[in-house]
Amino acid sequence: MTQLTFQECKTLIDEKITSFLTGERKPSGLYEPAGYQMNLGGKRIRPILTLMACNLFSDEVDAALMPAIALETFHNFTLVHDDIMDNAMVRRGQPTIHTQWTPNTAILSGDTLCILAYQYLAETTPSLIPRILGLFNQMALQVCEGQQYDLDFEKREDVSYQEYMLMIEYKTAVLQAVSLKIGALIGGASEPESEKLYQFGRNLGLAFQIQDDLLDVYADETVFGKAIGGDIRENKKTWLLIKALELAKGQRLDALHAAIRGGVSNPEEKYMRVREIYDDLNISVLAEHEISLFFEQAMLNLKEVDVTPERKTELKKLAAGLIRRDK
Ligand code: IPE
Ligand code: IPE
Ligand code: MG
Ligand code: MG
Ligand code: MG
């Protein structure tokens, strides 16, 4: 038995998604931006995780396909609203919905994606629906809680490492964790086995968000698909900033405080100043190290899953690719 590859999973997902939200669904003012968002060319990591987790336990992944689409649809809903909250103009190299259309359109088409996610989630093995729905709801609430912490933290300078970790666990990691757990359950995994995949996804998700924080400062904008420096502009409490606030002393700390307290009014200059401080403190190297620690923890979680090592090859490859990503 060979496992589905990343590309095979992605093709299954992409084909399914392009068959929805296109064509003549009315009103077009609602469905056109929703379809635009879904077809912008995301990496499709979460639904691929769902299919691969299912495929660990079962040769048949059909029953996981619509829940996988549900997780991608929910993810896109969060991105549409996140881009309003973060004043982000570009996503996946294209204008965000609230800039291409209006904030009202982004709110409502985002809501629509959230509701469609629930509709797709229920298109699976009927006996599993209550369990899957419970997991999904818990995750969805945590994402909202994480997003609220993210906003609250913009106004604070004393955010601790622990608070940051909880924030990213909720806003980012639990969605990847649940994507894996739901796939595993549909594939027939026991509760304890599916929980190991949850932990794998949680640690992978933590590494993923620290990597996202790093890319927000250092990526090549044309590859990353998002505007560089958005986190610095918005005073986001990222892994980098928390580490810099911990390590900077004397004049350097004063300069960092001045920049984040609005002492530099030009956003481009603010970005350059903060980035210089990160460079001086070697923050990117420290962040890479932290990313690899969470990645290694994720690998340990995967190792504990009770299926043959050969069945895990594709998931391992995906995880390794994620921490080396540039977008
Ligand atoms: C972006 O997620 C949101 C974060 C959790 C950092 P992705 O980087 O998976 O976004 P797409 O779907 O591939 O665009
Ligand atoms: C991602 O946080 C969390 C959610 C979208 C729920 P970010 O705000 O860092 O994501 P990007 O960088 O805009 O993709
Ligand atoms: Mg954002
Ligand atoms: Mg955000
Ligand atoms: Mg980000």
Three-state SS string over 121-136 comes to HCCCCHHHHHHHHHHH
Q: Distance (Å, rounded) from C-alpha 265 to C-alpha 226? A: 22
Provide block-wise average pLDDT over 10 residues at a time, the chain (327 residues): 91 92 83 95 97 98 98 98 98 98 98 98 97 98 98 97 98 99 98 98 98 98 95 97 98 96 88 97 98 98 97 97 91
Which amino acid is residue 325, in one-letter code? R
- Decide whether any atom of ligand 2 lies within 6 Å of the 301 Cβ: no
Q: Distance (Å, rounded) from C-alpha 187 to C-alpha 181? A: 10
CA atoms within 13 A on the CB side of 105: 18
User: What pLDDT does 226 receive?
Assistant: 96
Would you say 216 and 235 are in contact if contact means Cβ atoms under 8 Å apart?
no
Name the residue among 44, 111, 43 with its Cα closest to residue 80.
111
User: Which of 13, 69, 75, 147 best tests ligand 1's pocket when mutated (most atoms within 8 Å of CB)?
Assistant: 75
User: What pLDDT does 230 receive?
Assistant: 97
User: Which of 43, 46, 82, 94 best tests ligand 1's pocket when mutated (most atoms within 8 Å of CB)?
Assistant: 43
Q: Distance (Å, rounded) from C-alpha 181 to C-alpha 175? A: 10
User: What pLDDT does 19 receive?
Assistant: 82
- Mapping DSSP to helix (H, G, I), strand (E, B) and coil, where does residue 181 land? helix
Alpha helix (H) ranges present in 59-190? 62-85, 97-100, 103-121, 129-154, 161-168, 174-186
DSSP state of 173: I
- Decide whether any atom of ligand 1 lies within 6 Å of the 201 Cβ: no
DSSP state of 305: S
User: What's the 213 CA to ligand 5 centre distance in angstroms?
Assistant: 5
- Decide whether any atom of ligand 1 lies within 6 Å of the 230 Cβ: no
Which amino acid is residue 10, in one-letter code? K
CA 255, 258, 260, 265 torsion-angle sign: negative
User: What's the 225 CA to ligand 3 centre distance in angstroms?
Assistant: 12
Q: The pTM is what?
A: 0.98
Q: What b/e sequence results for 87-111 when a residue is b if at least 16 CB atoms lie within 10 Å of its CB, and e otherwise?
A: ebebbbeeebbbbebeeebbebbbe
User: Which of 46, 77, 79, 99 best tests ligand 2's pocket when mutated (most atoms within 8 Å of CB)?
Assistant: 79
- Decide whether any atom of ligand 1 lies within 6 Å of the 42 Cβ: yes
Q: Distance (Å, rounded) from C-alpha 201 to C-alpha 180? A: 6
User: What pLDDT does 1 receive?
Assistant: 64
- Decide whether any atom of ligand 2 lies within 6 Å of the 169 Cβ: no
Q: Distance (Å, rounded) from C-alpha 178 to C-alpha 130? A: 14
